[in-house]
Amino acid sequence: MSVTTQRRLPCGVELQAGGVHARVWAPACRRVDLVVEGSGKRHPLVGEPDGHYSAFIEGLGAGTQYRFLLDDDRLRADPCSRYQPDGPHGVSEVVDAWRFAWTDAGWHGIGREGQVIYEMHVGTFTPGRTWRSAADQLSYLADLGITVIEMMPVSDFPGRFGWGYDGVCLYAPCRLYGTPDDLRNFIDRAHALGIGVILDVVYNHLGPDGNYLAEFSPDYFTDKYKNDWGRAVNFEGPAAAREFFVANAGYWIDEFHFDGLRLDATQNIQDGSGEHVLQSIVTRVRAAAGGRRTYVVGESESQDSRLVRSTTEGGFGLDALWNDDFHHTAVVALTGRRQAYYHDYKG
């Protein structure tokens, strides 16, 4: 049987004619098998010279649940799983990322000027705490004059509640809020009302619980740099480690039609490579959007102007920065509190 291995993403399990193609970067492992949940059937993956393991597996399709067996002794979720129905410690599920019937072909994205941005935490926005229930309130936001929703991080995390900043399954929309197609439906309905949607993403660290990346390769992380929330992500190491994060940025734009990203705490995204990873992320976002306009905003504790300078001026090409100086000054003025990072602000 002739099988094409053309993929949308470098890694993960993707549908192809007659089955799925599985690929994972696991140079720390001597053997990797894909194990089908329920039947327990093992499918050995073939090693590649650069530490990837891959195989085409006939007969598997959308809805198949699986995990990777590492070195015959531990089952782990797919690091690039598109859905974790039971959370990060459970099985991964094969997703048909192209079955959703989009209606936003006439949507051209969002520009920089004149936007009214609403920051949304899906888990607290409605009593239903889901993308479906949030979508039912979009007309309310449109009536308020909201033009862009900045959705707080949705990468899956353990437990029942969280702000999203300790995500560990970066490609899997959080199962607490619904399915991947529920998220697509939310964005499609927002676009129908003239509302753009950008996603808050966390590339400066991973959460402490359910983070199994180092078992696939310790090179995902580095001790070269200090980090406020754990081990620093290694953007200077093997290309596959860096690409895991850069590809994730494009994934949200391509498969979910997000209109851009908000990059969390960029002061902890440290990279001495020839091209800074923030520049690579912006480039990938623009490419993934095709002809749609995108909006990439960064958070920087030091208000680093390199983020918004053009690449020809030595910058990274983002569209905007969160104005944390104004925010912190306003908080001190309104509350009188000067603890922690408010200490240097007088109000």
Catalytic residues: 264, 299
What whole-number distance in Å separates Cα of residue 45 and Cα of residue 119? 42
* Element at 46 (helix H, strand E): strand 46-47
Q: What is the largest CA-CA distance in the chain?
A: 70
3-state SS assignment for residue 125: helix
309: left (phi over 0), alpha (psi -120 to 50) or beta: beta
The DSSP annotation for 195-214 comes to -EEEEEE--S---SSS--HH
What whole-number distance in Å separates Cα of residue 292 and Cα of residue 290? 6
- Residues near 144 by beta carbon (within 8 Å), at least 6 away in sequence: 118
What whole-number distance in Å separates Cα of residue 251 and Cα of residue 114? 27
Residue 271 one-letter amino acid: D
DSSP secondary structure code for residue 45 in this structure:
P
Are the beta carbons of 264 and 201 closer than 8 angstroms? yes
* Element at 254 (helix H, strand E): helix 239-256
171 closest CA partner among 245, 232, 239: 245
